[in-house]
Amino acid sequence: MKDEDYEKLEVTPCDVKSIQNIPKGVCDFWMKALVNHPVGQTISEKDRPILGYLQNIELDLHPQDKDDGYDLIFTFAPNNYFDGTVITKSVVKKGDTPVKTSTPIIKWKDACNPTIKKQKKKKKGKKVTVEVKCESFFNIFETIDPENAGKKDDEKKEKPEDDEDGDYDEADELNMKLQEDHDIAEQLKDDLVPLALEYYLGVIENEGEDDEDDEDDDDEDEGEQKKKKKGKKGGMPTGPDGKECKQQ
């Protein structure tokens, strides 16, 4: 029913043109999904505000005539941390074997690179400030190419100072690093991307948490069994037939 006041009511029509075709999703969706995923263990405090701009992670399989790899495409909203909005991690594989991983160099803005930190070291008796690598989720966006590592002088690594046995092998180290990087990429491809909503909602438990719970349950069961055994020892003596002997 309409009353007199309703007839007098003036409603300004809503102009939706200004908000059409704007990719407005759930706030911090991908960051929360990553944090709840096992890969989230690599996320540092410096990473969190940057990942807050993450809008999407897409999977793009390479053509079969090229290789058996894929691209993970991370799309960010415009931000004050790096130039551009898209970071692509490319994984090249032959069968199940990773060959290399690559990412175009991220152009970080001043003092915004979360993968490095400044540290003071002594050199020739003087304290100097140097940049050293630190733990960060963004370390996955690194090019690792063992086959071509020795072809460029700037890619060669110095022998570690703690290599007393002289068994340091750069190729072995790069291959191990490539395998670790590939494992993370596979988790993102096979687990996080298809189950992003479940990880965002936190309905999937990490295997590590389940293992810890199982261990706790086992400890409790063992404790109960020990208590039962102690109870039996402190009870009435039993005869040959297993029945308790009556005290006279």
pLDDT digits (tens, 9 = 90+) for 42-53: 999 999 999 999
Mean pLDDT (the chain) is 79
Least confident of 10-14, 87-91, 167-171: 10-14
Token representation of residue 203: 């309905």
| C-beta neighbour count of 137 within 10 angstroms | 23
- Confidence grade of residue 65 (pLDDT, cut at 50, 70, 90): confident
Q: Look at residue 246 and tell me whether its pLDDT is greater than 70.
A: no
In the structure, what pLDDT confidence band is assigned to residue 247 with cuts at 50, 70 and 90? very low
Lowest mean pLDDT among 15-19, 108-112, 192-196: 15-19
Kindly list the distances between the CA atom of residue 138 and the CA atoms of 132, 239, 241, in Å, as whole numbers in the listed order.
15, 71, 71
Pick the more confident residue, 156 or 182.
Answer: 182
Q: Could you read off the pLDDT of 165-210 as tens digits, one per residue? A: 555 567 888 999 999 999 999 999 999 999 999 999 999 876 655 5
* Domains in the chain with CATH codes: 22-152+180-201 (3.30.1120.90)
- Contact by Cβ (8 Å): 94, 68: yes
Query: Are the CB atoms for 103 and 87 separated by under 8 Å?
Result: yes
Closest residue by Cα to residue 109 from 138, 80, 133: 80
Q: What pLDDT score does 245 carry?
A: 45
The pLDDT value given to residue 156: 45
